[in-house]
A and B are shown apart, each in its own frame.
Chain A
């Protein structure tokens, strides 16, 4: 943080300006990769420097390739539309979004206090309707999302024929195969946009109800730990945990059917061959039926977070779920209990809720119970939508994107199968038309000459950008962070931002949020992305910029989790509470300050991480 300002006391007061940060070596031309509407533009300097931007490394921990800007662009657009245009959330509009040196930054858009007050009646009417008809609307939501997924699945990006089939002449279609191809691409993007609208349809309301409970608890019990309120609503039967639960079920079934040795056979990592071996074993068919039932839909689950085009999906790559099942079988053989301790979680939730309620006087207690009821009714969506949109829908979206990229790769447009990701989605549309046009003309398209060197140039830039971790924030922080969604989702509080500036507390510990209680010590394992998950050893402490819900199976191996970003409602926090592991989130820089193998002590109760050697 070389460009930070210091006061006379040595305290940093501001993060760097995006206009003053030199690009990493070899990435000087990085701005040419991204569309103008997500870049800090020189003519807007005064305006942009007056705002505070925080890095969303919770959702985009690594550098975005140009095509992947669809994630931050659509998600911020759709988050905003529900606040600003649909429900008219009184104090909050959306988030502005910029890509700076490959990383995503957000800045909340506030509402003028007079306008906020004027929005109240419409908000009551609109949000009130949703709260009142929550369950029915949610059934409708699931129907809409599944229809979107079906439509995405139906898109085909195959080779173009040498000639249109004769039947089309008889039918007089008057169209060629590129009509479907170009239309399919437009449809792909439109369906993705639609899915992101559905993503936020209920989400902000879910957070709002939670926030209401949270605020009331803070008034009744000043300084109540965030995790106490989080525990009060913690879902124990959430669909987001289904994929992991399915793996456990398959592990137990394998033991029951006497097939487990096939799943833990020595030699190469399990994969399609393993499934073939199981198929030919006695009773192997029974297991494979269970496998197929689990696979669709529960293995539409990525080891990433759904925001990157090369995230691997369990459904496509049996090595991922089989690897986890392998682990579970070994643990079952050691006599371990592998299921989530749901009864204990419920008992603890009820104890905590009951004890706080007992401290209130009767009138307050009635309010508390009503707020809790609403928060519990709407809260499961806050986790479950993740499976349907980020994992399932986006999994299909990226698969189709890769199919299209591979088609143009075969036509010589770029050297690698997935290289279309180095184009923005608008550039990809141009390339696709170039391809269609060349095919239609019967002459070579221009792309194969234009794109390969350009793609290589961009690949080098992305690699150079990835060599540096992003600044946690940009510009001068406001005196107080009050935007509700930033606080809940990203853990962006005034205190947290201050601690990023100083990095360490006075005792030399890294400080973060006490996201899941308990203490643990052990060697650190830095994991920067899902590809490094295989390295995690038993008894290590997972240290990552951010974790994804699909990492759940490794939570059986580790002692604690530390993340750079995330609030008490981040996935790492929720998963750790469910798995009874200590967690400290939002440390700002743990994954760069700590090295793999260093012994660390994690205090998930106090929110501190101490490096012991």
Chain B
């Protein structure tokens, strides 16, 4: 599905960050590379611009924010709410709403499917400025009207008080901002989490670190749960360290598909690892593949669906929900123990003398 206002992840189109934002550009790219990504589409920045320009509220937003002092938090909060009201308080222009509805219908041949609706800002996930987590995300949205409404609320979240303050502190002008929104079929996740292709503990580039919990991955991303942690060797794809945590609650799709529910994890599963050995390998392989594509460390979100069929090779199917370049270690020199330089017998002598420090 391609039109001016939406762009399906599997459209094969050349992803342009200016048009679909960082998050959706990543999903388009990954889909094009054959990485399993749940189906979805981007609501392009054209849609946003159509809402705000052409007699829309862009000019009004400018006047509400004129002369704002971001250090005055109460005033910033008040003005931000007013700006958001300018967007959520008026209907989405029919051509945009129609396009979003049409793109949503394509996702669910059998009816309305629950989707996630996430903002995908132009400047999000850039190596220099990370806006990660600044804007709104809605999970378990079902039905075309609800999707259109969630998209509108994502647009509005461009003007939360903290986003305004964040931009002000970094000198990003308020005028001319735009935002795309990603709409993606929700995975009814049995297990989900994140993976990082560098060990954040020591910067070791040969490790993939996976956090996993039962159910949807949101509690892992938000830090709402202590996940199982697996450190996997990137080359051999074997776990070198596993730390299991009892996971007491999980977030799952509501039975009717509208919204999410938090429920207790039964005893037997609580004592179990969230990922079976083959699944650990599959998640690590996925992360490694994404890193290979971008050529730098990646931070991914993944999920394994409750009803996931095995792949033709018998391996588990792991879906990629999101990928972004890792920004912490990539920009820092590695802090590592000094290694005996050189080779040959002098290095051997030094190594042998240093054996008291051999990790055992």
Interface set of A (CB-CB < 8 Å, partner B): 89-92, 116-117, 120, 123-124, 127-128, 131, 208-209, 211-212, 215-216, 218-225, 227-228, 352, 355-356, 359, 364, 367, 370-371, 373-374, 480-484, 487, 493-495, 514, 517, 519, 603, 605-606
> Which residue of chain B lies nearest to A92 when distances are taken between CB atoms in the complex?
B352
List 30 A-B residue pairs with CB atoms under 8 Å apart, sorted by A's residue number: A116-B353, A120-B353, A123-B345, A127-B348, A128-B345, A209-B348, A212-B347, A215-B339, A215-B358, A216-B339, A218-B358, A218-B359, A219-B340, A221-B204, A221-B233, A222-B202, A225-B240, A227-B236, A352-B236, A359-B206, A367-B343, A373-B343, A480-B356, A482-B356, A482-B360, A483-B355, A487-B358, A494-B360, A514-B238, A605-B277
Distance, CA A227 to CA B348, complexed state (A): 20
Residues B235 and A91 in contact, CB atoms below 8 Å apart: no
Interface set of B (CB-CB < 8 Å, partner A): 199, 202, 204-207, 231, 233-236, 238-241, 277, 336-349, 351-356, 358-360
> Which residue of chain B lies nearest to A519 when distances are taken between CB atoms in the complex?
B277
Q: Which residues of A contact B360 (CB under 8 A)?
A: 480-482, 487, 493-495
Q: Which residues of A contact B207 (CB under 8 A)?
A: 221, 223
Residues A359 and B358 in contact, CB atoms below 8 Å apart: no
Residues A212 and B351 in contact, CB atoms below 8 Å apart: yes
Q: For the complex formed, measure the closest distance between the CB of B38 and the CB atoms of chain A, giving whole angstroms.
A: 29
Distance, CA A216 to CA B344, complexed state (A): 12
Residues B339 and A117 in contact, CB atoms below 8 Å apart: no
Distance, CA A103 to CA B124, complexed state (A): 67
Q: Which residues of B contact A131 (CB under 8 A)?
A: 344-345
Q: Which residues of A contact B202 (CB under 8 A)?
A: 222
Distance, CA A542 to CA B358, complexed state (A): 32
Q: Which residues of A contact B347 (CB under 8 A)?
A: 212, 371
Beyond A223-B204, A223-B231, A370-B344, whether A90 also contacts B353 by CB under 8 A is: yes
Distance, CA A220 to CA B235, complexed state (A): 14
Q: Which residues of A contact B205 (CB under 8 A)?
A: 221, 359
Residues B339 and A364 in contact, CB atoms below 8 Å apart: yes
> Which residue of chain A lies nearest to B240 when distances are taken between CB atoms in the complex?
A223
Beyond A223-B231, A224-B206, whether A212 also contacts B340 by CB under 8 A is: yes
Q: For the complex formed, measure the closest distance between the CB of B91 and the CB atoms of chain A, giving whole angstroms.
A: 53
> Which residue of chain A lies nearest to B354 when distances are taken between CB atoms in the complex?
A215
Distance, CA A259 to CA B55, complexed state (A): 95
Residues A124 and B345 in contact, CB atoms below 8 Å apart: yes
**One of B337, B339, B353 near A367 (C-beta < 8 A):** B339
Residues A482 and B355 in contact, CB atoms below 8 Å apart: yes
Q: For the complex formed, measure the closest distance between the CB of B113 and the CB atoms of chain A, giving whole angstroms.
A: 37
Residues A367 and B348 in contact, CB atoms below 8 Å apart: no
Q: Which residues of B contact A128 (CB under 8 A)?
A: 344-345
Q: Which residues of B contact A211 (CB under 8 A)?
A: 348, 351-352
Q: For the complex formed, measure the closest distance between the CB of A286 and the CB atoms of chain B, giving whole angstroms.
A: 45
Residues A352 and B235 in contact, CB atoms below 8 Å apart: yes
Q: Which residues of B contact A493 (CB under 8 A)?
A: 360
Q: Report the 9 A-B pairs with minimum CB-CB distance, sorted nearest first.
A: A370-B343, A219-B339, A221-B206, A494-B360, A493-B360, A128-B345, A355-B235, A359-B205, A605-B238
Residues B341 and A367 in contact, CB atoms below 8 Å apart: yes
**Listed residue (B206, B348, B355) with the most chain A CB atoms within 10 angstroms of its CB:** B348
Residues A484 and B352 in contact, CB atoms below 8 Å apart: yes
Beyond A218-B359, A219-B339, whether A208 also contacts B236 by CB under 8 A is: no
Distance, CA A254 to CA B206, complexed state (A): 48
Beyond A211-B351, A517-B236, whether A219 also contacts B343 by CB under 8 A is: no
Beyond A92-B352, A120-B349, A224-B206, whether A219 also contacts B358 by CB under 8 A is: no
Q: Which residues of A contact B204 (CB under 8 A)?
A: 220-223
Distance, CA A410 to CA B345, complexed state (A): 55
Q: For the complex formed, measure the closest distance between the CB of A10 and the CB atoms of chain B, giving whole angstroms.
A: 21
**Listed residue (A123, A487, A494) with the most chain B CB atoms within 10 angstroms of its CB:** A123
**One of A209, A220, A225, A483 near B236 (C-beta < 8 A):** A225
Beyond A225-B240, A356-B235, A606-B239, whether A484 also contacts B355 by CB under 8 A is: yes
Residues A89 and B277 in contact, CB atoms below 8 Å apart: no
Beyond A225-B233, A352-B236, whether A91 also contacts B353 by CB under 8 A is: yes
Q: Which residues of B contact A228 (CB under 8 A)?
A: 233, 235-236
Distance, CA A329 to CA B354, complexed state (A): 52
